Chains A and B, each alone.
Chain A
Amino acid sequence: MPSALFVILLTLGGAGLYLAMPGGRFHVGRAALIVLLGAAAVLVSLIAPLAGPHEHGLWLALLALVAVVGALRVITHPRPVYSALYFLLVIIAVGGMLVLLDATFLAAALLIIYAGAIMVTYMFVIMLAQKGGGPAPYDRAAREPLIGVATGFVLLAALTGRVLGAGGELGGAPATPEASLSNIVQVGARLLTQYVVGVEITGVLLLVAMVGAITIARRRAVTEQEGEFR
């Protein structure tokens, strides 16, 4: 793995992302997107060999491409609705990867909760806050994109450099799952034995969040412009 190529790729990706951010100084969004997608594709092609002799290597590369491209679009798309839909794409890709990792129950839960519950809430709020006449002004321009992107990519380089430095030897051999029991049974047993307190606390957390959300949402706000209850 030539590190120079890796650095160039990351730099390219960062530059492309910077250009693709909404409200970038140069109106070259499409071109930047193409550069970005190319960089992402090369990156995935780099990742694919890491999958090595694994039988799911192709699937993994595909899912990774979907996830990364989806994530890019989530943060670059000027319309929140599209961002949310791209995020759905990311969820599905991650779910797929979880299946590849034999975490079938978690994958199902992810899809159900995110796609089914959380994203619907997001959609509601986005629709609620939507106004006619194209994207809102604050959606059209990013905030300090250069320093944000640069920081992010330096961090990415630091993290991935460490991973790639270790090479394919990182991590042990894939453990064979215990065929006798299904994944859901195993996870359930683990949750209700070792993490039973955590489960209880999570339940309380959800309850509190529900009560809090209701309380906050029911509060009447005084708008500064109108100075009266709404």
Chain B
Amino acid sequence: MLAAYLLIGAGLFVLGLIGFVTRRNLIIMFLCTELMFQGIVLNLVAFGRYPLDGHPTLDGQAFGLFLLAVAAAEAALALALIVLLYRYRDTLDPNVWKLLKDE
């Protein structure tokens, strides 16, 4: 039973990763990070429900809640930044921002 959830979680996580790497839209990229969060939440809760040592725990759910809060904070900040960047360059393409290098 656990394996099914783990497979789904892995699928969601990897799809989010692929999207983050390949899509050229800042908003979609952050959406993809949310996708990866979903895979992780699924993982955490599934492990809590089907524990390897036989003792079920609620820690997974607690972490899931923290994760929600962090996701909310991240979404607020990231979207604010995206809006700012969009105002500068009139585009959402992350490739116009190439400042992360030594020149």
Contact = CB atoms under 8 A, between A and B. Distances in A.
Given A174-B50, A191-B65, A202-B70, A51 B4 contact: yes
Interface string A6-22: 00000000000100011
A177 B35 CA distance: 28
A126 interface: yes
B8 A171 contact: no
Interface residues of B, dominant DSSP? helix
A94 B92 contact: no
Given A168-B3, A170-B2, A195-B62, A21 B73 contact: no
A156 interface: yes
Interface in B56-78: 56, 58-62, 64-66, 68-77
B3 A170 contact: yes
Interface string A90-134: 110010011001110110011001100110011001101100000
B88 to A, nearest CB: 5
Contacts of B23: 22, 75, 139, 142-143
Interface string B37-59: 01001100110111111111011
B81 A174 contact: no
B66 to A, nearest CB: 6
B44 to A, nearest CB: 9
Interface size class of B (residues with CB under 8 A): 35 or more
Nearest to B93: A138
B27 A155 contact: no
Given A50-B4, A149-B22, A202-B70, A103 B64 contact: yes
A13 B83 CA distance: 35
B69 to A, nearest CB: 4
A83 B3 CA distance: 28
A22 B6 CA distance: 28
B2 to A, nearest CB: 3
Nearest to A53: B1
A121 B73 CA distance: 12
Contacts of B70: 202, 205
A47 B86 CA distance: 42
Interface string B7-50: 11011101111110111110110111011001001100110111
8 smallest beta-carbon distances between A and B, as pairs:
A171-B2, A175-B56, A75-B19, A209-B73, A171-B50, A152-B18, A138-B93, A221-B87
Interface of A: 17, 21-22, 43, 47-48, 50-52, 54, 60, 64, 67-68, 71-72, 74-75, 80, 83-84, 87, 90-91, 94, 97-98, 101-103, 105-106, 109-110, 113-114, 117-118, 121-122, 125-126, 128-129, 136, 138-139, 141-145, 148-149, 151-153, 155-156, 159-160, 163-164, 166-168, 170-175, 177, 183, 186-187, 190-191, 194-195, 198, 202, 205-206, 208-210, 212-214, 216-217, 219, 221-225, 230
9 contacts: A54-B1, A67-B11, A118-B34, A122-B75, A128-B86, A144-B21, A153-B14, A190-B61, A217-B83
